[in-house]
Structure 1
Amino acid sequence: MSQNQAAWLTAPKTKPFEVGPAPMPKPGPGQIVIKNHAVAVNPADWKNQDAGYFIKEYPTILGIDAAGTIEEVGEGVTRFSKGQRVMAHFNQLKEQDPAQGSFQLYAVAYETYTSAIPDSMSFEEASVLPLAISTAASGLYLPKYLGISELPSESPKPSTNTVLIWGGASSVGATAIQLAAASGLKVITTASPANHDFVKAMGASVVLDYRSPSVVEDIVRELKDTPLAGIYDAISEDASFSPILDIVTRLNTTVKVVGVLPYKTPTENFSPTFVFGYDISHTPHEKFGEAVWGEFIPKALASGQLQAKPHPLVVGHGLDAIQHGLDVQKAGVSAKKVVVTL
């Protein structure tokens, strides 16, 4: 019988993780057990280790992104079978269930948040995508956020709408660009000059240097007299809050602004609506989640329309390396996503 091991967070603000035995998970209805081959690190991981925003009980197992093979399927699961290669967005932060944290050898995921991956895609590449897909799609399409009506398609019809994505080289930003482009929208984004070609390859039509003294004026010029679906702040730190507030003020019109969960409260009386990636499957939007995760994502991965970007930055192997992965991510990476192989 397989033995499970996990990187446990045993108490608030403890470092490093304690690697040790974990229960072998069993899938419930609509769930699958995945044998993880690669896990990706997100800012939410070190933020929860540092501050415990969403953690109610300890010990627990963090981790949101992974790719691996199906070990077991639960009742009602129809899209997957044992041995299949998949990636998944794990649900631990929402359900407070350690079995659903990805920082372990075997973990439970929902069929809803899982996609098959093509043989041409490595586990390391696939692991960079899941949370970024859910967070980007929630912010772009759900009515309480930007509410863009055009869902991603393999053959998108050109839209008259434009979306501004601040931070296009980030994990969420790169995925949001790809989804918005697959919805037919014109995408304006920001990135450092070194990453301009990268975000253009994702589907951005206009790329501007976020460090340029004229970036606000340049963006306002691009957005003037253009139907604007909204602004997606994929950075959500002081460095993005300030220029976005300036842009909204200068446009002098109502603009929807959403951002990823910040590390601290926004300043300057500016508070966008913040996206929680799990919103994609919340009632009454399960069918919407199925349209993205169940329909578009596997087809787009197979055809190459959806790329696993940014590139994985593998920083180690084994559960003992996960703490190092969080430290590297917290220190900052550009156009890369930190990955640990298992």
Structure 2
Amino acid sequence: MAPTNSAAVLTEPKAHPLKVESTPYPIAGDGEIIVKVAATAINPMDWYIQTLGEQLFAWLQYPYIGGSDVAGTVVEVGPNVNKFKVGDRVAGLAAGFDARSGGFQNYVALEAKIVMPIPDDLEFTEASVFPLGLCTAASGLYQKDFLALDYPSFDPKPNGKTLLIWAGASSVGTNAIQLAVASGYEVYTTSSPKNFDYCKGIGASRVFDYKSPTITQDLIEAFKGKTSAGAYAIQPGSEKFVFEVISKVEGAKFVACALEPTNVPNGVQAKMVFASTLKDNEVGTVIFDQYLPAALNQKKLQCLPRPLVFGHGLENIQGAIDLGKSGSVSAKKIVVTL
């Protein structure tokens, strides 16, 4: 007999609060595993979907189960999955393509390609903070139709190129900095002054105050004598600043964007990143199979930002989303345990 399952459900567009209710236990399809969720993290997309509804997300079907970051234990393994077994501790991207694969539930179906084993000494709350941020970062950094950077290694050699990452203290920024440095790139990033040390601690060589009235000119000046590897515009509204900088520096003119880019200047290329696309190409294999397991075991990659545990149980998902939406949490990621 299958276990009972429950979820925090968005019953209709813009409904508030989420409703905790029984939902079908997911069945593992081809290439999938079923994970008993121990911790799930909150992302901006969660409050965007709830707040904006059909205005930006017309493709959503209701009732909708959100949640992209999960960590937990494998309880079932579907056909054509060889790298996991029942009992494995894992973290992965809950793609949310249907109700089975949203992370805000006790049992979730995950695509094995975008799931990673986690070390025994890594808490589920720590592991839950980074799947979406890491997938989004890696998709923008390494896919051939984006920045197409060199892959990360455990003994990177400086390659003489500098990457600009706007919003280095964000979840995506934190992962992008670590990956880019592991790939041999120098990283310039932006944050609030209180997070300068945080960004430098994970590998950024220079950090700039994103609120400075001279931020654009400061970055252009800093890039003098440097060869650009391109840029990653993570914070909404940062694209116009990043475009101006990249248009005036030597080297690559591509900008990976967290949102759909508009008003892209001549000579600059830009494209919106989707986290899950790396599962369909070699980037997913390289990152999830060849790099991450060893990187986590050897502590070469930190699971960051640090978790801020809001509470336990599905009934706390809504409060956690509201806290994230308030903008009062910085350089941490809100987590709910289940």
TM-score, normalised with respect to structure 2: 0.93
What residue is the counterpart of 1:192 in the other structure?
192
Supply the RMSD in Å over aligned alpha carbons. Answer: 1.9
Q: Deviations over 1:37-64 (max 9, x none)?
A: 1000111111112223164321121111
**277, 280, 286: which is aligned to 2:278?**
280
1:179-218 equivalence runs, <5 A: 179-218=179-218
CA contact (8 A) 1:261 1:276 kept: no
Query: What residue identity is the alignment partner of 2:232?
Result: Y
What residue is the counterpart of 1:112 in the other structure?
113
CA contact (8 A) 1:48 1:55 kept: no
Give the deviation of 1:242 after TM superposition.
3.4
Label 1:307 to 1:254 Cα distance change in 2 as closer, same or farther (>3 A).
Answer: closer
What residue is the counterpart of 1:340 in the other structure?
336
Distance 2:245 2:89 in 1: 43
Distance 1:99 1:251 in 2: 46
Query: What residue identity is the alignment partner of 1:210?
Result: Y
The yes-or-no answer on 1:14 pairing with 2:15 is yes
CA contact (8 A) 2:296 2:302 kept: yes
What residue is the counterpart of 1:313 in the other structure?
308
SS at match of 2:295: helix
**35, 59, 68: which is aligned to 2:63?**
59
Query: What are structure 2's unaligned runs of at least 5 residues?
Result: none
Distance 1:54 1:117 in 2: 35
Query: What are structure 1's unaligned runs of at least 5 residues?
Result: none
Query: What residue identity is the alignment partner of 1:27?
Result: A
Query: What residue identity is the alignment partner of 1:59?
Result: P
What residue is the counterpart of 1:90 in the other structure?
94
TM-score, normalised with respect to structure 1: 0.92
Distance 2:269 2:156 in 1: 32
Distance 2:179 2:250 in 1: 27
Label 1:9 to 1:271 Cα distance change in 2 as closer, same or farther (>3 A).
Answer: farther
CA contact (8 A) 1:169 1:195 kept: yes
Q: Deviations over 1:179-208 (max 9, x none)?
A: 001101111111112111111111111111
Query: What residue identity is the alignment partner of 1:72?
Result: E
Aligned residues: 331
Q: Deviations over 1:139-192 (max 9, x none)?
A: 0011211111x1011222221211000100000000000000110111111111
Distance 1:298 1:49 in 2: 34
Query: What residue identity is the alignment partner of 2:323?
Result: V
The yes-or-no answer on 1:71 pairing with 2:71 is no
Q: Once the two structures are aligned, what percentage of the paired residues are identical? A: 42
SS at match of 2:221: helix
Distance 1:217 1:312 in 2: 35
